[in-house]
Amino acid sequence: MSKSWYIVQVFTGYEQKIENTLKRLLANGELDSEILTEVKVPMETVLEETKNKGVRERKNKILPGYVMVEMDLPDLGWKSTCNAIRRIQGVNGFVGTSPTERPRPISTEEAKRVFQLAGELKGEKKARSKQTYDVGDHVKITAGPFATFSGTVEEISSDMTKLKVNVQIFGRETPVELECNQVTRI
């Protein structure tokens, strides 16, 4: 037996409720904590602009309609745990299997990718900007030492969190590296 991540399909909007129910069942001893070891609804932090040019942080579900559970399913007796999870109101079942089949885990690469998006693999959680930028966009810098300057986007980082913007400083174009939440599109 080894721990693996499984995905449980739930009614959209019920993700937190199902997560809390599973954690409560674990705490009450109704589910074996050696079999079901962890329950997560992966969330990412998104920064979005408000009407008054402020920035607001919002949490978005990475997998709406799904809950991730880490289980160490035994060869014998797996049905009782899986059936207890399936019987929770709002749960449709495990992804990719029928109710009579043993659930199939997702690969470690898939789980790693989801947790990377949620910022749970790195020590710090990074907020992603809701607004996307393209090379050549004209932007105004709203925060930091170059606030009130404007420039042109020259480069975008692979994770879409940083921009390299060319700014006119003392009559010369100077590249400045900024976070996406420090600029707005003009």
50-77, pLDDT tens digit by residue? 777 677 788 888 889 999 999 998 888 8
Rounded to whole angstroms, the Cα distance separating 181 from 158 reads 16
What's 114-166 look like in SS3? HHHHCCCCCCCCCCEECCCCCCCCEEEECCCCCCCCEEEEEEECCCCCEEEEE
More confident residue, 170 or 61: 61
Cα dist. 88→7, 25, 61, 81 in Å? 15, 10, 21, 11
Model confidence pLDDT, tens digit, residues 2-59: 899 999 999 999 999 999 999 999 999 998 888 899 999 998 887 776 777 677 788 8
User: Phi/psi at 116 (nearest 5 deg)?
Assistant: -65, -45
Average pLDDT over residues 91-102: 90
Measure CA 44 to chain center.
4
**Cβ(165)–Cβ(178) below 8 Å:** yes
Alpha-carbon span 71 to 85, nearest angstrom? 12
Q: Would you give the end-to-end CA distance of the chain in angstroms? A: 56
User: In this structure, what token pair is assigned to residue 39?
Assistant: 């329950």
For residues 150, 153, 155, 160, the Cα torsion angle rounded to the nearest 10 degrees is 90
pLDDT of residue 124: 47
